[in-house]
Amino acid sequence: MGSCFVDRIGELIELTAAEMVALSGLEQRERSLRRGAVLLREHDKLADMFIVRRGVLMSFVLLPDGSRQILRFLFPGDLIGVSSLVYRTSTESIAALSEAVVAPFDRALIGTLIAEHPRLTGVLMALHEMERVILTDRLAALGRTSAKVRVASLLIEIRNRQRIDDRNIGASFALGLTQEEIGDATGLTSVHVNRMLRQLEEEGMISRAGGRFTITNEPALIRAANYIDRSSRIDLGWLPAAK
């Protein structure tokens, strides 16, 4: 019954009652997705946005030669379809990687939010900027790091993200991705992903069994991934007052 978006934003600021109401207003409707279902296709006409309520999805683009680049993985509390605030048609495709539930809402509601809740608007911009910074980190990884580094950092990223929703997750976790999907996210072929995973395993950083990964030497894996933790440096001191 709770709102995922309220939870997400509530981690950044202390919400007023009115703000909570406004945010929950975005999650009135619900739509369930099977694993593999496509929520949005590139170039689809686009007037709705979505908030992820449950499950994991991915956003990706397809290139003329048929290859796929996964842009990001979407977890509960994430926004889908922000590009509808600018473009008539979607710039990305979205598909479910597990059973998933999303909450669709009309993009015009963002306009209402901006007009009535300046502080929430500020947080929205901050969330949006965090997305952008994640993309720059990925860009640097694709442009300037080796296959092993990219695979290692994907493992760490997904594990850390899963742990936010489930504090029980420790060294062992289910990645929930095929090796082909790992490849499409890291800019590699599935064959080479397989070799990199085996190499990380041989070097004692991870072990694998039945689709589950276990990080057996976390410091080494983090070093191999040149992982950047940005969550500790957040500062929203500039936000306008709540209305």
Partner DNA sequence: CGCAAATTTGAACGTAGTCAACAAGTGTGG
Partner DNA sequence: CCACACTTGTTGACTACGTTCAAATTTGCG
37 binds, among DNA, its own copies, none (CB under 5 to 8 A by kind): none
Query: Judged by CB under 8 A, which of 31, 41, 54, 107 binds its own copies?
Result: 107
Neighbours of 36 (CB within 10 A): 10
Query: Judged by CB under 8 A, which of 18, 21, 38, 108 binds its own copies?
Result: 108
Query: Which tokens in the block code for residue 164?
Result: 């936010």
Q: What is the DSSP letter of 45?
A: B
Sign of CA dihedral 188, 191, 195, 197: positive
Q: What is the DSSP letter of 14?
A: -
148 binds, among its own copies, DNA, none (CB under 5 to 8 A by kind): DNA
Query: Judged by CB under 8 A, which of 21, 38, 125, 191 binds its own copies?
Result: 125
Q: Choose among 210, 100, 221: nearest CA to 157.
A: 221
Nearer of residues 194 and 217 to DNA, judged by Cβ = 194
Query: Judged by CB under 8 A, which of 7, 11, 30, 131 binds its own copies?
Result: 131
Nearer of residues 90 and 179 to DNA, judged by Cβ = 179
Q: Choose among 105, 106, 79, 101: nearest CA to 31.
A: 101
Q: How far apart are the first and last CA of the chain?
A: 25
Nearer of residues 76 and 183 to its own copies, judged by Cβ = 183
Give the interface size with DNA as a residue count (CB under 7 A).
Answer: 19
C-alpha distance from residue 10 to each of 2, 77, 229, 232 (Å): 12, 11, 20, 16
Quick check: 238 binds its own copies (CB under 8 A)?
Answer: yes
Q: Tell me phi and psi for residue 178, to 5 degrees.
A: -80, 165
Query: Judged by CB under 7 A, which of 28, 89, 112, 146 binds DNA?
Result: 146
Q: Which residues bind its own copies (CB under 8 A)?
A: 61, 63-64, 67-69, 71, 82-89, 91-92, 107-108, 110-112, 114-115, 118, 121-122, 124-126, 128-133, 135-136, 138-140, 142-145, 186-187, 226, 230, 233-236, 238-241
